[in-house]
Structure 1
Amino acid sequence: MAKLQDILQWCNQTLKTGEFKDYAPNGLQIEGKQEVRKVLCAVTASQDAVDAAIDQGADLLLVHHGYFWKGEAYPITGMRGKRIKSLIQHDISLVAYHLPLDSHPVLGNNAAIADLLELENLEALDPEEKHPIGNTGYLKQAMTPESFKSFVSERLLFDAIHLPAEKTLIQKVGFCTGGAQDFIGKAAQQNCDAYISGEVSERTFYEAKELGVHYFACGHHATERYGVQRLAKAVSEQFNIEYSYFELNNPI
C-alpha cells in the first residue's frame, strides 16, 4: 500500500511535468482514495477502462489520455460526465501524463518504439526542444520500404499504412508517436529516409512524396500503449504495489 501523494510526487519528479506546456493537466485529474493498493493503467480513460478499474478493484487509473483537454467545453456532462461520475462514485483516482510520457527517455512512448524497432544512435527529431517529443535513429541494416512496412507492422502489432517516397532503401528513421503526422517536415530536415507516427492525414500523402520521406502510420493507440505500461511497472516496483494493464484495441 502506498500514499497517493507519494506516487504523484514520484511520477511528477520522474517525468519532470513542470517543464512541459501541454494540452491537458498532467498528474492528478480526479482525486480518489488516499491509500493505493492497486493501479490499473490504460492508454485512454474510456468508459471501458473505468469499468475495468472498478471491476478489478483498482484505486488508481493511470492513463496517457485523460480529461480536461484545451478547448473542451467546461460542463461535466454526457459521455465525459458519466466517466467522471463512475470514478468519483467508486473513489478511484485518475492520473494522466501526456507529453511528459511521450518524451521520457526511458519510460516514454518514443523510447519504447525505439526499443521495439531496435533503433540505434538516437537523437532528437527537433534538436531545439528542451525535452524532445520525437527522435531519429538508425536501423541495424537498411531495408526496402516493403520490408520495413512488414517489420513495423509485426513489431507494433498494427497493419501500418505506407505512404511512399522515391527512396529505395530505409535506414535513418524519424518517429513520434500518436497524432504527430505533421512532424514529417522535421524528419525531412533531419535527412530521414522514413518517418513513423500514429495517425495520418490527407495532406500527408503529398508531403511524403514531395519531401522524399516514406511515411508509416502505425496507429495512435498502437504506438502509445507502451509508455503507460512502463510507468505503471516503475510505480509498482518503486512502491511495492500491484498493477495491471487494460487493453482495448483501438484501430485508429
Structure 2
Amino acid sequence: MNNQELENIINKELSSSKYQDSCPNGLQVEGQFQIKKIITGVTACQKFLNVAVKCKADTVIVHHGFFWKNDPLVIKGLYRKRFKTVLCNDINLYCWHMPLDNHKKLGNNIQIAKKLDISIQGEIIPFLWWGYFKKPISYNALKYKIFTKFNRMPFYYSANKIPIIKKIAWCSGKGQSFIHAAACFGVDAFLTGEISEETIHFIREYKLHFFSAGHHATEKYGVEALGNWLSNEYCLNVKFVNIENPI
C-alpha cells in the first residue's frame, strides 16, 4: 500500500471531511511512498518519534500531530527536532484528531464505553455521549474500574449524596466544558479526561459524580483500535506504542 492510498482509506472510514478541526487531518508530513511498517500512538512527541526510528517504521499515525492553530509559525527548538526526525528518516506522519474522537466504532468515546461496560444510548450533543451501566455501580467501584482499565487512578469529586451511578455522560480528552450539557440532560455522573478550577464549582452546584480519567488515558484506545482495524482489514504491519502521560 502507498501513502496516498492509506490516507484515502482512513479518511473515508473516519469521515474526516465532515470536521472543522484545529489541526489538519490525514497526511501531515510526507515520507516514503510505499508503506511497510506502521507505528501508532497518541502524540507525536520526540520520545514517540525516537521509538519509530528505532523500530524502523516508515509511517506513524497519531491522534495529536503537528500544525495546531496555536503552534508557533516558525520551526525551531523542539519543533525543529521533531520535524528533523520525521524528515531525515523519510517517515510519513498522519494525524486524525476529531474524527478519531467520535467515530462510532473505532473512536475514543466508544472505546471508553467498551472499557467501562456502558450501554451506549447516543450523543447528547456532538462529542458528548451518554448511556447506562448494565448494572448500577457505586462510585468507588467505578473509580477502581477506571484504575484497572486505564492504568491510572482518576481524580474523583462529588456533590451527589447517592452513591450508586446508573446514568453517565462522557467525553474523551479535554471535555470538561461539556459538564453543563451533561448536567442539563440529567445524568448521575460525568467522565472526561481533564478538569479545570471552575469545574469543581459546577460539580457542586449540579450535584454530580465527576471523574477525570486523564487526557492521554481516555484517548489512547481510539488510535490503537484504528491500528487494529488496519491490521485486520488490510493485513498491514501495525504496532501501538504507548508513551505514558499522567495528564
Question: Could you tell me the TM-score, scaled by structure 1's length?
Answer: 0.95
Unaligned runs of 5+ in 2: none
Letter in 2 for 1:120: S
- Kept in 1, the 8 Å contact 2:113–2:120? The answer is no
Alignment of 1:18-29 (within 5 A): 18-29=17-28
Could you say what secondary structure the match of 1:216 adopts? strand
Residues of 2 paired with 1:153 and 1:181: CA distance?
Answer: 19
**TM superposition outliers: structure 1 runs of 4+ over 3 Å:** none
Residues of 2 paired with 1:220 and 1:111: CA distance?
Answer: 15
Give 1:125 deviation, angstroms: 2.6
Could you say what secondary structure the match of 1:63 adopts? strand
Residues of 2 paired with 1:143 and 1:201: CA distance?
Answer: 26
Residues paired across the two proteins, number: 246
- Paired residue for 2:236? 241
RMSD after superposition: 1.1
What is the identity percentage for the equivalent residue pairs of Structure 1 and Structure 2? Answer: 35
The correspondence for 1:155, drawn from 149, 160, 166, is: 149
Give 1:145 deviation, angstroms: 2.0
- Paired residue for 2:112? 113
Give 1:75 deviation, angstroms: 0.7
Summarize deviations over 1:119-140 as a string: whole Å, max 9, x none. 11421031xxxxx322101001
- Kept in 2, the 8 Å contact 1:7–1:235? The answer is no
* Residue 165 of structure 2 is aligned to residue 166 of structure 1: no
Residues of 2 paired with 1:91 and 1:24: CA distance?
Answer: 22
Summarize deviations over 1:106-160 as a string: whole Å, max 9, x none. 010001001011111421031xxxxx32210100122222222222222222101
- Paired residue for 2:183? 188
Letter in 1 for 2:245: N
Letter in 1 for 2:231: S
- Kept in 2, the 8 Å contact 1:64–1:101? The answer is yes
- Kept in 2, the 8 Å contact 1:163–1:205? The answer is yes
Summarize deviations over 1:173-206 as a string: whole Å, max 9, x none. 1010101111111110221110111111111111
Could you say what secondary structure the match of 1:71 adopts? coil
Unaligned runs of 5+ in 1: 127-131
The correspondence for 2:135, drawn from 113, 138, 141, is: 141
The correspondence for 2:201, drawn from 201, 206, 213, is: 206
Letter in 2 for 1:185: H
- Paired residue for 2:70? 71
- Kept in 1, the 8 Å contact 2:122–2:129? The answer is yes
Summarize deviations over 1:24-67 as a string: whole Å, max 9, x none. 00011100011000100010000011111111111111000001
Residues of 1 paired with 2:2 and 2:82: CA distance?
Answer: 24
Question: Could you tell me the TM-score, scaled by structure 2's length?
Answer: 0.97
Letter in 2 for 1:242: N
- Paired residue for 1:251? 246
Residues of 2 paired with 1:212 and 1:20: CA distance?
Answer: 33
Letter in 2 for 1:196: L
Summarize deviations over 1:63-90 as a string: whole Å, max 9, x none. 0000111122211111111101110000
Give 1:93 deviation, angstroms: 0.7
